[in-house]
Amino acid sequence: MFSSLLVANRGEIAVRVIRTAKELGLRTIAVYSDADRDALHVRMADEAWALGGLTSQESYLNTTKLLEIIERSGAEAVHPGYGFFSENADFARAITQAGVTFVGPPPDAIEVMGDKISSRRAAEAAGVAGVPGLTHPVDDPEEVVAFGDEHGWPVAIKAAYGGGGRGMRVVTRPDEAAEALASARREARSAFGRDECYLERYLAWPRHIEMQVIADDHGSVLWLSERDCSAQRRHQKLIEETPAPHFPDETRRAMGEAACAVARACGYRNAGTVEFLYQDGAFYFLEMNTRLQVEHPITELVTGLDLVELQLRVAAGEPLGFSQHDVVRRGHAIEVRINAEDPAGGRFMPTPGTITRFDRPDGPGVRVDAGYDTGDTVSQYYDNLVAKLIVHAADRDHAIARAIRALGELRIEGVATTTPADVAILDHPDFRAGTHSTRWVEERLDLGGVAPVATASQDAHELVPTPVIAEVNGKRVAVTLYLDAAAPSAPAPRTPNAPSRPQRSSSARAGARAAQTGSGEVSVPMQGTVVKVPVSPGQQVDAGEVVIVLEAMKMENAILAERAGTVREVRVNPGDTVGTGDIVVVIE
């Protein structure tokens, strides 16, 4: 086993990996962006190194800087977590070529399965059928229209190098194709660095069921359990559970064997997840995620296995040490994602800001995996997952009751979270009966009674880089402290090259906190970056028409006109950073 591990990630998954690594006696190394300088994963690691930059591209996706830190820190292994570089074959190859162990599958397997198009081909070669779709990238909206006319509407546009619902758009009719394809490609490029997209038929009422697999270098390829991830919004999961309700054992075994066949077909090693759509007793290959999943803890609770420990041991060349027959699943587990989003009215609007209170639930069968604590800031620049509540009980009914009880104990203040929607899902007769699907939350769940959550200021404190002369063990050194700009004692920075936050446009700042209800002043409900301005002064718009497209927390959000009229003023341009309440468009 290697002696040191660098975690090339942030948030709750970095914290999760660090914990197991410490239990194994490994030296843990964190990396951080300017926004994450004092983040929980940084505080927990044995040492931490600065990446610089704020956005993902400037920091956690900066290959050159990561490789430099890996070398300087003496890390013997790298765990990529999920997202960022976890499914990037070039990064995995660069790690291994540097003589460092990559805690994940071989680069060739990532290459085959990381590209959703080639993964469909590999699955078909292994005898596992997929949802009807194309096996080549699409860049012409007319191809979307032709596919829909041939296979039926709706059509799903999906990022070829993505996952987790990022870069996915559902097109219900031909005139939506051009904008949906452009939007999917923008979001895919932002989240994954590549914008290739492909097409699939969008099933009417499917369930999303995935299979956890693990493979070693000694010929073992095992399936551990399935997970039902059908409770979703924006094609991103909210609640996951295992075992899947009303899922026949013979189908479970067939899906497990199919998942292992897919893994063998690409020479897979380490932990991975093969995802399927299940409808009317049949299942279809969807994709393979060549990494640890967000929802892996529920598999850990029903099997008693530590998946991160298995990942590390397999990466070190050790055999799994158990067979398929030895995998025993007990009880029922549910994971609830706690995202910084306001679910009022089913809108799920991102709510970056500072957490002023975070009280975790406790009691039998309750686990919380979090990337934040009281006083930490949820940044607009990254995914908005704050924590995961995971519960385990003897059966599904008791697990649901336990999850609702634990959510009642959870207290998070300062940012709105998805907790009210989570409770509504768990307590709904459709969910309890197991008749929900991937489309249920957005099409049938009524969240009209969920009121907007009042929060403290949504703006993160700005930290000013401040050069200071200090003495360390008698030696005079120059260091940089990052002090709260709002604090009266914080001196102004003295170095012209010091990093700073991107500034909001002055016109947007001037209109901050203006009223918006029923008025012609369109303001934004969260921090973010303007990616598209589809209107211009003098243009006529209708109520409900998109006037700004804002990217916040790795998602595109359409900002709508609240009244019809003529656009008098547009105060922002693509690339501008705006804050909560900033007025971006004026309509008269």
> Are the CB atoms for 295 and 224 separated by under 8 Å?
no
* pLDDT reported for residue 101: 98
Structure tokens that stand for 194 in this block: 């590549």
Contact 153, 171 (CB under 8 A): yes
The CA distance from 390 to 369, in Å, is 8
pLDDT at residue 7 in the model: 98
Q: How far apart are CA 487 and CA 507, in angstroms?
A: 25
Rg value, the chain, Cα: 24
CA proximity to 13, closest of 84, 71, 75, 76: 84
Q: What is the DSSP string of 75-133?
A: -SEEE--SSTTTT-HHHHHHHHHTT-EESSS-HHHHHHHHSHHHHHHHHHHTT--B-SB
**Residue (of 76, 42, 77) closest to 59 by Cα position:** 42
> What is the per-residue pLDDT across 267-304, written as a single tens digit (0 to 9) for each?
999 999 999 999 989 999 999 999 999 999 999 999 99
3-state secondary structure of 185: helix
Q: Which two tokens stand for residue 115?
A: 């590209």
Note the pLDDT of residue 88.
94
pLDDT category, 504, cuts 50, 70, 90?
very low
Q: Give 453: exposed, middle or buried? Use CB within 10 Å, 0-12, 13-18, 19+.
A: middle
Per-residue pLDDT, 91: 96
Domains of the chain: 4-103 (3.40.50.20), 132-201 (3.30.1490.20), 209-443 (3.30.470.20), 463-497 (no CATH), 506-587 (2.40.50.100)
Buried-state track 77-107, b at ≥16 Cβ within 10 A, e below 16? bbbbbbbbbbbbbebbbbbeeeebbbbbbbb
Tens of pLDDT, residue by residue over 112-124, are 997 778 888 899 9
Q: Give the C-alpha distances (Å, rounded to integers) separating 288 from 260, 390, 442.
A: 11, 23, 25
Residues 303, 222: Cα–Cα separation, whole Å: 13
pTM listed for this prediction: 0.80
Please tell me the distance from the alpha carbon of residue 349 to that of residue 359, in angstroms, as a whole number: 23
Stated as kind and residue range, the H or E segment containing 155 is strand 155-159
232-253 pLDDT, tens per residue?
Answer: 998 899 999 999 999 999 999 9
CA atoms within 13 A on the CB side of 34: 23
Q: How many CB atoms lie within 10 A of CB 173?
A: 11
Q: What is the pLDDT of residues 180-224, one digit of tens each?
A: 999 999 999 888 888 999 999 888 899 999 999 999 999 999 999
Tell me the pLDDT tens digit for each residue of 325-383.
Answer: 999 999 999 999 999 999 998 989 999 999 999 999 999 999 999 999 999 999 999 99
- Between CA 491 and CA 157 the distance in angstroms is 50
Residue 53's nearest CA partner among 43, 61, 45, 41 is: 61
Reported as a single tens digit per residue, the pLDDT across 398-431 is 999 999 999 999 999 999 999 999 999 999 999 9
Judge whether 481 and 468 are in contact, CB under 8 Å: yes
Say how far residue 125 (Cα) sits from the centre of its chain. Answer: 30
